[in-house]
A and B are shown apart, each in its own frame.
Chain A
């Protein structure tokens, strides 16, 4: 399942003024895997995501996606890169003045001007249904949806261009356990149908156990470990032990084993 790395980050350094978030950080994401990224609050998980997708300019370091160095690309190459990945932001970031279906159509309209309206609306609808929403959500506005539905609608938009790489920022945060489990299932299912590689930031221990092939732990400004979860549990780093073997971590592991 896991193949060549499609994202490689080496020697990344990010800072805000005096505050250094990342120092000499390395991480790689392999083709076809679901990589979970964990770390304490404020450890720079979202900053790492923003650096990779080009929203935050790092001070130092090299980021390669699909073999291309991100900050050395021409505008055209960058657009080409952007249509090969989808991003699900933490709060969905749906455009509030557009309906769900129109939100899904935005990237399609932007990149492929010659698709006719009929096909556009068909595409939007099946993407929405594939993301696990009923078809009658299509003409609704984001403010009419619940938090979980909004996440799914945002996922439908992230998948609009059939990306091969999907970035998810805390997709199950704020969902009830049933909704979160269903979302995990959905990601697994989409991964196998669409052949996705997933970069997943999460605090949800259940998600980590249920769907991640490998987990990267960010602490002390760098990735201190990146391995399948079973191997992480063997390490005796105090933070990792506390994170995975604390009361909540054990509960999630038991659930997984059961």
Chain B
């Protein structure tokens, strides 16, 4: 015997009767719902005496026959009758999604919301910066409140554990610059200038910039995620009620850690890039290490090192600040943590690159070009 739900239509004494068979359950419905929509004439009765099981979905279909066509249900078991009664009580049509806007309204709303969000995010970041300055002032006035332990912990996670990946990245970038530079300069017989290229570009730009991107991805995102989940778990509120300012306990050590470590990491990255470039010069261009170092000392002015080292703490500050700021913006649900973490990284890298452009103009106009 087949369990599939089915029905036949009959005309009996001027009345249109549907006779159901099989199981009226969601698993066995097949095409019955569609056929019920396309009935040739409105049924007066629905006979379910041959049906051996009914679930809520089956009961709902029967209820609809009754509601839409006034059909009486006959031959229903006690269970089926009870189910039909229950679903008829629960019949209260509603939408399954909130109303959507038209495409133009949605676009306009999107632009408006985006503008507002960008504006309020920038303003918020400024206010956050102010809050951090106040917290710093308070800690300076009362140095006992400084959390050295938290700072040292951040030193490890932001700095020491990043040495491996930053070193590897820098080494490879050094090789790539040297190799690409050599290929282009060879056309002019000026391969020796590869050394100028490596020395100057790594110290001035790439060492610090690549490190900033790596730190934003590693630590800025981690800050946002940590602080964000602490906010969701009401840990930040708990801190406030106990009397620990989150700015002082959570934000200051993190921002300080990235600010202090970026120059060190940036210098380290530049150094490794120069080593990588030197290795390629030695292997690929037959320039021995002694010549490489001697030439570096001749062509790279000390100001190049200062340019990199002055930029680095600013970048570190931006990364720490945006990471913590976005973390503190989390509210509502877990999805926010992911969104704000992404926002922290994107915002940090964007601001770093914008600032880097300003620095480039500034340094060349003071004659450090």
Contacts and interface: CB of A to CB of B under 8 A. Distances in A.
A178 to B, nearest CB: 21
A85 to B, nearest CB: 14
B101 interface: no
Contact of B56 (A135, A140, A162): A162
B90 A138 contact: no
A188 B56 CA distance: 17
A136 B97 CA distance: 10
A218 B311 CA distance: 63
Interface stretch (A27-35, A96-104, A201-209): A96-104
Interface in B71-97: 79, 82-83, 86-87, 89-97
B92 A139 contact: no
B33 A143 contact: no
Nearest to A80: B27
B180 interface: no
Nearest to A140: B98
Contacts of B333: 96, 142-143
B27 A126 contact: no
A101 B92 contact: no
B91 A126 contact: yes
Interface stretch (A2-10, A116-124, A225-233): A116-124
B25 interface: yes
Contact of B332 (A121, A122, A138, A143): A143
A193 B94 contact: no
A108 interface: yes
A197 interface: no
Given A97-B335, A123-B57, A126-B60, A161 B96 contact: no
B276 to A, nearest CB: 44
B304 interface: no
Given A130-B86, A193-B86, A135 B97 contact: no
Interface in B37-70: 55-57, 60, 64
Interface in B105-123: none
A130 B87 contact: yes
B214 interface: no
B291 interface: no
B29 A115 contact: yes
Contact of B90 (A96, A99, A126): A126
Contacts of A128: 94
B26 interface: yes
Contacts of B26: 108, 112, 115, 123, 161-162
A125 interface: yes
B33 A125 contact: no
B34 interface: yes
A56 B87 CA distance: 36
Given A115-B33, A116-B34, A143-B332, A125 B93 contact: yes
B334 interface: yes
A215 to B, nearest CB: 27
Of the candidates B30, B31, B55, B96, the one having the most CB atoms from chain A within 10 angstroms of its own CB is: B96
A164 to B, nearest CB: 10
A195 interface: yes
Contacts of A123: 26, 56-57, 60
A214 interface: no
Contacts of A112: 26-27, 29
Of the candidates A119, A124, A136, A194, the one having the most CB atoms from chain B within 10 angstroms of its own CB is: A119
A108 B56 CA distance: 13
Interface string A119-154: 101111111111000111011101100000000000
Contacts of A14: none
B179 to A, nearest CB: 46
Nearest to B83: A193
A138 B34 CA distance: 24
A172 interface: no
Q: Kindly list the 6 A-B residue pairs having the minimum CB-CB distance in the complex, ordered from nearest.
A: A101-B96, A135-B94, A129-B90, A135-B92, A162-B55, A126-B90
Given A121-B96, A128-B94, A195-B79, 6 more contacts: A96-B335, A97-B335, A115-B33, A135-B94, A139-B96, A192-B82
18 contacts: A99-B96, A101-B95, A102-B96, A102-B97, A112-B26, A114-B30, A123-B56, A123-B57, A124-B96, A126-B91, A126-B92, A130-B90, A135-B92, A138-B96, A162-B26, A162-B56, A193-B82, A195-B79
Interface of A: 83, 96-97, 99, 101-102, 105, 108, 111-112, 114-116, 119, 121-130, 134-136, 138-140, 142-143, 159, 161-162, 192-195
Interface of B: 25-27, 29-31, 33-34, 55-57, 60, 64, 79, 82-83, 86-87, 89-99, 332-335
